[in-house]
Amino acid sequence: MSNPCPIGVFDSGLGGISVLQDIRRLLPNESLLYIADSAHVPYGEKSPEFIIQRSMAISRFLLQQPVKAIVIACNTATAAAVTELRKQWPEVLFVGMEPAVKPAVRASQAGKIGVLATTGTLRSARFAALLERFACDVEVLTQPCPGLVELIENGELESDVTKALLARYVEPLLAAGCDTLILGCTHYPLIKPVLRTLIAPDVQLIDTGEAVARRLQSELAKRGELATAQQPQDRFYGSGDLASIERTLALLWPQPQTVTVLGF
C-alpha cells in the first residue's frame, strides 16, 4: 500500500524549511507541498486567535490539494492551533512540534537548560505543561528572541546584525551556566552556523526537526501511506513578497524554486 499525494508543511514563513530538510533526508520519495505564510510573519508576536484562523485557512487549502498529512513546522502555530485543527479534522494526520525539553533534560550535565523560542511559544499553556511534565529536576531559562525571525526571513543568515542580535539573546543563558540550548523555533536551526561561533563546542544544541520527520515516517508507515519509487515533485506557496521568499528559499533548498501566490 502507498499514497502518492504530497505531504503538506506550513510555517509562518521559511523557518519550516529546516523541518522540510529533515523530512527530505528521511523520506526522499515523498512529494512536499510547502506554505510560507510570510505576509503574517512573525506568528510569535500575534494572538493565538489570529494564529488559529491562519492555521485553519492554510490547512483547508492543503486538504483541497489534497495532501495526505499536514506538518505544522512551527512551534508557535502548534502551541496555538494544533488542538483546534485536530478537533476540526479528526481524520487527518497532523504532526506538530514543540521545544525539545525532554531530550534536553536528558542531555544536560549541568542541569541548566536554555530555551530560545518565540514569545508566543513561551507564553503558551502547552509549553507550561511541557515544563511541568519533563523539567521538574532541572533549571530552565527561557529567552524570547524578537527580531531574529525577520532577519532570517530576509536571508540574513550570517550577517553581522544577525550575529549581534543572537549574541544578545544567548549570552545571558551561557553566563547562567546553561550547557544545553533548545532551538524552540524552526527558524533558528537555519542560523546554527552563526550560533556555533558564539558558544563553546561542548554546549549542545537541540532542535525538533529530525524527531518530527521520524514521527511522520512512522505514522505514514502505520497507515500504509508512504510513497514508493516516485520522482518527488515539490511545490511552494507563499503569502507576501514572493520575490523575497524566492531569494531566501534559494539559500535553503537545493534546486531553484518558484513560489506561487497563496490567494488568502
Active site residues: 74, 185
55, 59, 118, 143: residue in contact with ligand DGL (rule CB under 6 A): 118
Q: Does 11 bind ligand DGL (CB under 6 A)?
A: yes
Binding letters toward ligand DGL, positions 64-93, x by CB under 6 A: ----------xxx-----------------
Site for ligand DGL in 182-221 (CB under 6 A): 185-187
CA distance 190 to 88: 32
- Choose between 149 and 170: whose C-beta lies nearer to ligand DGL: 149
Q: Is 140 exposed, middle or buried (0-12, 13-18, 19+ CB in 10 A)?
A: buried
Q: Does 122 bind ligand DGL (CB under 6 A)?
A: no
CA distance 168 to 150: 16
CA distance 142 to 145: 10
Q: Coil, strand or helix: which one is 118?
A: coil
Q: Does 43 bind ligand DGL (CB under 6 A)?
A: yes
Q: Minimal distance in Å, beta carbon 153 to ligand DGL? A: 8
CA distance 84 to 177: 38
Q: Does 21 bind ligand DGL (CB under 6 A)?
A: no
Q: Where are the beta strands (DSSP E) in 60-202?
A: 69-72, 94-95, 112-117, 139-144, 180-183
- Choose between 75 and 239: whose C-beta lies nearer to ligand DGL: 75
Q: Does 41 bind ligand DGL (CB under 6 A)?
A: yes
Q: Minimal distance in Å, beta carbon 257 to ligand DGL? A: 19
